[in-house]
Chains A and B, each alone.
Chain A
């Protein structure tokens, strides 16, 4: 099945930019066409005063300036960057199992679709670490995601341990780790060995430093 990207409320220059990025990309993992109607799989929504009615199942992603607050869902930031747009399209395509893989240019082999996300039951008790820092569009300026990614950048942890260290609820940790896994950013290292005793002095120092600076978990 081909996927359709809708563009609504965007200036002409951004519409042209998005079309150019799609035309030139060799890393898209599904076949995307562009429309300026509201009948689409993914709608990039710019500034508009009208109520936008879309079909059930259409994902709406607002296009906002960097630093503008978002309501917690996916956002595409201005200026529109090719890698962020392509990451978004590939993430949406990964959730649509019927999407057709797009042939790549030249002699390069067709890249594999992102691995299926690990079910929640498989995550429990299994540790993982990052093999690459996530794209900024994945982090989306979200401090919780940043904490989770940082925790996984230095060492391998289970979702439960990530939640304890980052202060982010377990469900959110599991969901973001599944997202990281879907983008093949995690290395799973099986069941963790028993933990060594934490350095109490350092643990106390970090808590004191956060308190002094007014940083809340």
Chain B
């Protein structure tokens, strides 16, 4: 039996806990406290880790970790992303500057992104279409990165599955790369 992990990170309120709950076979263990940040329109916020679990054939387990969104917890991001199957970055497009938010997470996960699959899900895009999905791709290109960028609504399980499928596809592609 082996243990693997997938890390969900991104801005506070972007839906990390919701995304994990959509696919976890156990009730998500959420380490929430009352939210005292007036800029966040939610009652609670994650200050530890969210934890979910998927058990696969053979008894191996894939642990799903949701990181706190605030940048002061970036030390946790780096630790969690080590040896992860992949990282899902969720961006809330209703925030004042989603592209700047993206930059924060690209910097915080820079070491991991160089080694493990990463997919970016942009939430609340239907109600807040600016910046467009292509603007995220352009920002990634400016940083020399080619990463999948998808509009998602993590309240829909199919959208979360699409993020996971995209992560797996990246991983499979990297495993299959020709050697020089």
**Chain A contacts to B: CB under 8 angstroms:** 66-67, 79, 81, 83-84, 127, 129-136, 143, 146-147, 149-157, 161, 165-166, 192-196, 198-199, 201-206, 208-215
Q: Is the CB of B165 within 8 A of A157?
A: no
Q: Do residues B134 and A135 form an inter-chain contact, with CB atoms below 8 A?
A: yes
Residues 106-125 of chain B, each 1 if its beta carbon lies under 8 Å from chain A, else 0: 00000000000101000001
A131 lies within 8 A of B146 (CB): yes
Per the bound structure, the CA–CA distance linking A84 and B140 in Å amounts to 18
Q: Across the interface, which residues of B come within 8 angstroms of A193, CB to CB?
A: 178-180
A-B contact pairs, 30 of them (CB 8 A): A81-B129, A81-B132, A83-B132, A84-B134, A132-B141, A133-B140, A133-B146, A135-B133, A146-B148, A151-B170, A154-B117, A154-B171, A155-B173, A155-B176, A155-B177, A157-B177, A161-B176, A165-B169, A195-B178, A196-B178, A199-B175, A202-B175, A204-B58, A205-B60, A205-B85, A209-B56, A209-B168, A212-B54, A212-B55, A212-B56
Q: 12 new A-B pairs (CB below 8 Å) besides A150-B170, A196-B178, A212-B57?
A: A79-B129, A146-B150, A150-B148, A153-B170, A154-B171, A203-B172, A206-B168, A208-B56, A208-B58, A213-B23, A215-B161, A215-B165
Tell me which residues across on chain B come within 8 A of A131, comparing CB atoms: 141, 146
B20 at the interface (CB under 8 A from A): no
Closest to B150 in A: A146
Which residue on A lies nearest to B133, using beta carbons?
A136
Identify the closest chain B residue to A217 (Cβ): B165
**Residues from chain B with Cβ under 8 Å of A133 in the complex:** 137, 140-141, 146-149
Set of chain A residues within 8 Å of B56, measured between Cβ atoms: 205, 208-209, 211-212
Contact of B176 among A146, A157, A208 (CB under 8 A): A157
Q: Are B166 and A213 in contact (CB under 8 A)?
A: no
Is B146 a contact partner of A147 (Cβ separation < 8 A)? Answer: no
Inter-chain contact A214/B161, CB cutoff 8 Å: yes
Pair A135/B165 contact, Cβ less than 8 Å: no
What's the least CB distance linking B54 to chain A, in Å?
Answer: 6
CA distance A81 to B58 in the complex (A): 47
Q: Are the CB atoms of A153 and B148 closer together than 8 Å?
A: yes
Neighbour of B168 across the interface among A83, A130, A210, CB < 8 A: A210
Chain A residues with CB under 8 Å of B140's CB are: 133
Report yes or no: A83 in contact with B134, Cβ–Cβ below 8 A: yes
CB distance from A197 to the nearest CB of B (A): 10
Closest CB-CB distance, A61 to chain B, in whole Å? 18
Assess whether B26 is interfacial by the CB under 8 Å rule: no
Contact assessment for B164 and A213 in the assembled complex, using a CB-CB cutoff below 8 Å: yes
Q: Are B150 and A154 in contact (CB under 8 A)?
A: no
Which residues of B in the span 136-157 have a Cβ within 8 Å of any Cβ on A?
Answer: 137, 140-141, 146-151
Q: Would A132 and B54 count as touching, CB distance under 8 A?
A: no
Residues of A within 8 A of B129 (CB): 79, 81
List of B residues within 8 angstroms of A135 by Cβ? 133-134, 137
Residue on A with the closest CB to B149?
Answer: A133
Do B165 and A210 have beta carbons less than 8 Å apart?
Answer: yes
